Chains A and B, each alone.
Chain A
Amino acid sequence: MSQIPADLRYTKSHEWMRTLPDGTVEIGITDHAQQSLGDLVFVEVPEAGRRLTAGDACAVVESVKAASDVYSPLTGEVVAGNPGLATQPELINKDPFGEGWILRLKPSGGSAAAESLDAAAYQAVVAAGG
């Protein structure tokens, strides 16, 4: 059974979002996603300054059996990619909602994640086999 912290927002494509005190949004992939992928061996994170539109592929997570794109849930500008993932991709396996964050994004004005799910709704997506 995977964890789904109640204080985060989610997407159907298994990203999570956390709004930080300064208004930037931290984004990663869920515990369910990392379990499905298996042991990660490589993560490609976006460069600071890159402009993303909601739905853009913004990162790549590669495991021993698959490589998947991570999609930005929001429109905005990348503030940082997680530098720790370059040498420790397993941070996502160990701590998907914490040290395994993938990028921080400064959302463009008013682009609150319209399509985002709360924990209960995301739980339903996972339960339905999404």
Chain B
Amino acid sequence: MPYIPHTPDDMRAMLDRIGVPSIDSLFDEIPADLRVESLPGVPDALTEMEISRLAAQRAAADGSPLNFIGAGAYEHHIPAPVWALVTRGEIYSAYTPYQAEASQGTLQIMYEYQSMIAGLVAMDVSNASLYEGASALAEACLMAVRAHRRSKSARILMPETVNPVWRRVASAITEGQGLRLENVACDAATGRIDPAALAALAGEDITALVVPQPNFFGQLEDADALTRWARANGALVIAAVNPVSLAVMKPPGEWGDGGADIACGDAQPFGVPLSSGGPYVGFMACRMEHVRQLPGRIAGRTVDTEGKPGFTLTLQAREQHIRRAKATSNICTNQGLLMSAATIHLALIGPTGLERVARACIARTSELVAALTQLPGVRAAFPGPRFHEAVLRLDRPVAPVLEALAADGIIGGFDLARDYPVLGDALLVCATETRTRADIEAYARALGGVLGRAAAT
């Protein structure tokens, strides 16, 4: 798509044609008191030379610490071909072109991506991606309300074991639209959804239950039982899943009796670097019976008038350019670039590669927990199976310990104090396939040193 700038003469001619004196006057309908005339706190523009130097300094300040933090975004090895291919001119766009401009290649990548996601979650249909996992969860809640027409409550049960950042984003997006996201308590002994909290809600009009798997603590929920509970109580099931885990775990489409209705999550672990928090790429899939409530684009495979295979956007009557105010979502684009990275990443490593990654994550995390809980004052908070994260309890506040570790070049984990005060001095740690035995030993040594130093003073 070429970039065609407008000259001042072009703009003058266009304004004259529509009979408007200036570009500013196009915004006359916005009341003066709603306009922001200046942006306090935003510094003056920098030159290219200045900004390059600043960016280099900031990048250098990050260093290359050993990372043991997950909490929703995960460091995985990204094979070199992924970004060599994604940055080619044919693909390197942040934006999804509209149908008229979408090349067959772009459409085919979407189609392959959708096929991979649908395969991973064992569901019928996937969209061509959403912004990231948090807004994908919000869209899944909105979709559940549209899809479950017998339920009048617009109540979504949102367990505390769902990523707290995702919960906040989902609330921000959905509550203005009349949804009620209700907490379901976590059992502080198991780190999983408290069955008693759920049982207390039996028989009420509930639109959907969100089931995180693995949950924010890395613990495995009893997804089969939760799905059965939701079915028995007339609620839909929204699965919020880590896509890497699906290489070794039962997919949402097979949970309970009949599977979840909607699956969503973040595909960042597939070829997308951490990049200080984004951009990432959300995924979303569902059973065919709900497809008309699925937001976002869907690419389909078809044949042209001569019978030759080709790809096209399909089921567009859900989308805002046709459905206007009643569209399934105001999302008209997707994370095309990162979706492409995820597709190429998965194509490169394949099902066996993904399974090896998942198994390595589980093994490394077990080793990490074993090494750290050898230290006095450190113990695992929860028993039971986990994926690639674990909660540790320390014998003192976590924040100063993390600061001391950072000084040793180690990002030691995610402090749970703010989001889960009930857990006390609790630390969420993660080890993926990128952490070696030596890395884990280095962490254990550093933590031992920090805890010992503090104890000595």
Q: Which residues of A does B touch, CB under 8 Å?
A: 41-42, 44, 47, 60, 62-63, 66-67, 69
Contacts and interface: CB of A to CB of B under 8 A. Distances in A.
Contacts, number: 18
User: Chain B CB within 10 Å — which of A47, A60, A62, A67 has the most?
Assistant: A67
A67 B323 contact: yes
Given A47-B149, A47-B150, A66 B292 contact: no
Contacts of A69: 326
Given A66-B317, A67-B317, A44 B292 contact: yes
Interface residues of B, number: 8
A63 B292 CA distance: 13
Interface of B: 149-150, 292, 317-318, 322-323, 326
A69 B317 CA distance: 12
3 nearest A-B pairs in the assembled complex, by CB-CB distance: A67-B317, A62-B317, A67-B323
B322 A67 contact: yes
B322 to A, nearest CB: 6
A115 to B, nearest CB: 23
Given A63-B317, A66-B317, 16 more contacts: A41-B317, A42-B292, A42-B317, A44-B292, A47-B149, A47-B150, A60-B326, A62-B292, A62-B317, A66-B322, A67-B317, A67-B318, A67-B322, A67-B323, A67-B326, A69-B326
Contacts of B322: 66-67
Nearest to A63: B317
A98 to B, nearest CB: 25
Majority secondary structure, A binding face:
strand
A44 B318 CA distance: 12
B298 to A, nearest CB: 14
A62 B326 CA distance: 13
Contacts of A42: 292, 317
Contacts of A44: 292
A75 to B, nearest CB: 19
18 contacts: A41-B317, A42-B292, A42-B317, A44-B292, A47-B149, A47-B150, A60-B326, A62-B292, A62-B317, A63-B317, A66-B317, A66-B322, A67-B317, A67-B318, A67-B322, A67-B323, A67-B326, A69-B326
Contacts of A67: 317-318, 322-323, 326
Nearest to A50: B149
A68 to B, nearest CB: 9
Nearest to A69: B326
Nearest to B323: A67
Nearest to A62: B317
B117 to A, nearest CB: 23
Contacts of B326: 60, 67, 69
Contacts of A63: 317
A13 B300 CA distance: 33
A66 B321 CA distance: 10
A44 B317 CA distance: 13
B269 to A, nearest CB: 35
Nearest to A61: B317
A44 B323 CA distance: 14
A42 B323 CA distance: 14
A36 B60 CA distance: 63
User: Chain A CB within 10 Å — which of B150, B292, B317, B318 has the most?
Assistant: B317
A40 to B, nearest CB: 11
